[in-house]
Amino acid sequence: MAPLVTIALLVGAPVVLIFLLRANAAMVFLALCAGSVLTQFISSDATNILRSFIPASGTVNFSIIQLSLLYAPAFFTVLFMRKGVAGAKTLINLIPAAATGAVGALLAVPFLPGGVSHNITSSSVWSSLEQYQSVIVAVAVLISLFSLWFSKPKHSKGKHK
């Protein structure tokens, strides 16, 4: 049961945060993708720098750094773009928010500490998610792009020339 709760938290926490702060979920998804790129290219260098200052257990620090690099851009995007979605768009915004949560879970589980990651990856729910990960990512990308393409930008309420 614990792996199911962890998966639910990994998927649900971004959805709840995006919904409560009314941030644009498509932008948060793109920030999560940027975090994935950061994790891929910067995590080992950041770990080496951190180890030079704080000698501690290697796997925990490496996991924390990877998860921080993955989620930091998305978290700051939620904070800086809060109250960007209003009215009926808030409910429509739940669809890209759920896609963001699902892709976030797919990206985060390999970075969790060994025992937690093993418990999750050995569960039947995770094997189902992994089986459909290409569909989940493709749908998330399409939903986020359509959300960005068809949303009207905010205009200032001043005079338009």
For residues 103 and 7, is the Cβ–Cβ distance under 8 A?
no
3-state class (DSSP) for residue 161: coil
**Residue 49 forms part of a structural domain:** yes
Position 161 pLDDT exceeds 60: no
Instruction: Give the pLDDT of residue 116.
Output: 85
The H-or-E segment that residue 116 falls in is helix 114-121
Residue 160 covered by a domain: no
Checking phi first, is residue 141 left (phi over 0); if not, alpha (psi -120 to 50) or beta? alpha
The residue behind tokens 């030079």 is 52
pTM comes to 0.84
Q: Is 121 contained in some domain?
A: yes
Our count of domains for the chain comes to 1
Which one, of 133, 102, 100, lies nearest residue 32 by Cα?
Answer: 100
For residue 155, being part of any structural domain is answered with no
The pLDDT tens digits for 12-42 are: 999 999 898 988 889 999 999 999 999 999 8
Note the pLDDT of residue 56: 61
Asked whether residue 159 is domain-assigned, the answer is: no
- Per the domain annotation, does 98 fall within a domain? yes
Q: Is the pLDDT of residue 5 over 60?
A: yes
In a domain, 50, yes or no: yes
The rounded mean pLDDT for the chain is: 85
Do the domain assignments include residue 80?
A: yes
Residue 129 belongs to what domain range? 2-149
Residue 63 has what pLDDT? Answer: 84
d(CA 32, CA 37): 9
